[in-house]
Amino acid sequence: MQKILVANRGEIALRVMKTARSMGIKTVAVYSEADRTSPHVTFADEAIFLGPAPSNQSYLNGDLIIAQAKACGVDGIHPGYGFLSENAAFAEAVEAAGITFIGPRPHAISVMGSKLAAKEAVKSYDIPMVPGIDQAITDVALAKEIADQIGYPILIKASAGGGGKGMRVVENPEALASQMNRAISEATSAFGDGSVFIEKYVRSPRHIEIQVLADQHDHVLYLFERECSIQRRHQKVVEEAPSVILTPDLRKRMGQAAVDVARACQYVGAGTGEFLVDANHDFFFLEMNTRLQVEHPVTELITGLDLVEEQIRVARGEPLRMKQEDLQITGHALELRVYAEDPRNNFLPSVGKLEVYRPAQGEGIRVDDGYREGMDIPIFYDPMLAKLITYGKTREAAIQRMIEAIDDYDIEGVANTLSFGRFVCTHPAFVSGNFDTHFVKEHFTTDVLKKDNEQEAKVAALLATHLYSKKHDKLKLPQTGHSEWQQRRF
């Protein structure tokens, strides 16, 4: 593979190109009107203009991207995450154009893109799943029967859903009919597919995902877990590896389950099995993400692997160079997603100019970002500004580094979630490791940041007074009537 086009923007496009370059592979960027001056464009060996800022006229235009890739002699396309990364038709069209899609086969993408198809595919393996049905259901009477068997509370989910869209908790039989009808109409309008199914609702789960890596020669490895329970409305905020709740035995069982999921769809490349873990430490497979995930760096830091390099090697047909026994967890890594959103104002997206932008740096700190000081943050895309990743020998050390890095990070001009990240990393429940997917809802109010603000304002006022009086002393003229300045000069 001589030349790779990255069909993405921002931090992930840059991150993929850095590895490609380190492997001696030429890089091609694509960009929209809004991204003309972006680092991913200036970094690349070649850059192709796609069109206007809106994604459907640029980064989602698969046909245009493939045509341009062919025209400039690209032999691999890396889709990053989001955009076309989990689009089976795109992966298919890339292959049909004689270009290698750096990711799984279209079959795996489409099977795992449907939750019901995914359940069907893993049926013959012994993978723990939440009690529920694996068929779409529209009949309320039948749903009532099934719900009675499963036992309340139940959860209605959309088969085509993602990010919690179309999910509804039903606490009792009386609420079932109306919730089902709402879920069906929501799924129809959001995904064009009204298929819903029913599961037992796990009340306070932790969200643990397992990274897998598979080659084209039937080898599948698990690269341990990421703890992703710290979310706000299905948007991840802090991720970490390893998880405090996994014992070596549970890690092995979940790892094996994720490997089986990958085998069930003939997976190739880097993928992620999503699981819920309940208070009894029972785990349930939910779904598989068939892309490189935003939070992959924490896995890289604890395993020492470069996941993009592994993706490229596997796509070239190379067998994996390591065995499961060769892999181990070293240290602890945290990732904070820094969003251009205002945590003091209900996380309202904040656009504008990055007047000041100085990322934290230092030992044990990695920043994956795609913006520079002076740039405008476009409104058209995901609001993530940067990923602040810290590493330490222990969880405590990684958390301490994160707090220091947050304090070192300088962003002005655009409201951002650094302060929210600080709130999480200093919260006793997070520090103790005793939290679940309800952490943000349970512990965060805007007031906690306002208190932080008040505290900072007090410190600033004290400091200002102190500096003022110090300066004042110095400026006092000596009794002689000659200032120090005069004495030195004459």
Q: Which stretch binds ligand MV4 (CB under 6 A): 201-209, 308-316, 334-342, 393-401?
A: 201-209
Q: How far is the CB of 231 from ligand MV4 (least distance, A)?
A: 5
Residue 389 and residue 391: Cα distance in Å, rounded? 7
Q: How far is the CB of 117 from ligand MV4 (least distance, A)?
A: 15
For residue 348 the two structure tokens come to: 């309202």
**Member of 201, 283, 371, 430 binding ligand MV4 (CB under 6 A):** 201
For residue 434 the two structure tokens come to: 């005793």
Active site residues: 291
Q: Is position 291 an interface residue for ligand MV4 (rule: CB under 6 A)?
A: no
For residue 238 the two structure tokens come to: 């802090």
Residue 136 DSSP class: -
Residue 2 and residue 13: Cα distance in Å, rounded? 17
- Residue with smaller CB distance to ligand MV4, 274 or 342: 274
For residue 414 the two structure tokens come to: 């655009």
Q: What are phi and psi of 313, to 5 degrees?
A: -60, -45
Q: How far is the CB of 453 from ligand MV4 (least distance, A)?
A: 28
- What mask, x for binding ligand MV4 by CB under 6 A, covers residues 417 to 446? --------------------x---------
- Report long-range pairs for 24-32 (Cβ below 8 Å, ≥24 apart): 25/1, 25/76, 25/312, 26/2, 27/3, 28/3, 28/4, 28/69, 28/72, 28/74, 29/5, 30/5, 30/6, 30/58, 30/59, 30/65, 30/68, 31/58, 32/57, 32/58, 32/59, 32/380
Q: Is position 401 an interface residue for ligand MV4 (rule: CB under 6 A)?
A: no
- Residue with smaller CB distance to ligand MV4, 51 or 162: 162
Helices 115-122 and 106-113 pack at an angle, to 10 degrees, of: 110
Q: How far is the CB of 84 from ligand MV4 (least distance, A)?
A: 20
Helices 307-315 and 10-22 pack at an angle, to 10 degrees, of: 70
**Member of 199, 310, 369, 382 binding ligand MV4 (CB under 6 A):** 199
Residue 104 and residue 48: Cα distance in Å, rounded? 25
Q: Is position 155 an interface residue for ligand MV4 (rule: CB under 6 A)?
A: yes
Q: How far is the CB of 5 from ligand MV4 (least distance, A)?
A: 30
Residues in the chain: 490
Q: Is position 205 an interface residue for ligand MV4 (rule: CB under 6 A)?
A: yes
**Member of 50, 111, 130, 270 binding ligand MV4 (CB under 6 A):** 130
Q: How far is CA 223 from the centre of its chain?
A: 17
**Member of 202, 230, 237, 298 binding ligand MV4 (CB under 6 A):** 202
Q: How far is the CB of 164 from ligand MV4 (least distance, A)?
A: 4
Q: Is position 286 an interface residue for ligand MV4 (rule: CB under 6 A)?
A: yes
Q: What are phi and psi of 79, to 5 degrees?
A: -90, -5
- Residue with smaller CB distance to ligand MV4, 234 or 393: 234
Q: Which stretch binds ligand MV4 (CB under 6 A): 35-43, 198-206, 302-310, 417-425?
A: 198-206
- Residue with smaller CB distance to ligand MV4, 227 or 310: 227
- What mask, x for binding ligand MV4 by CB under 6 A, covers residues 225 to 264? ------x--x------------------------------
Residues that bind ligand MV4 (CB under 6 A): 130, 155, 164, 199-202, 205, 207, 231, 234, 274, 276, 286, 437
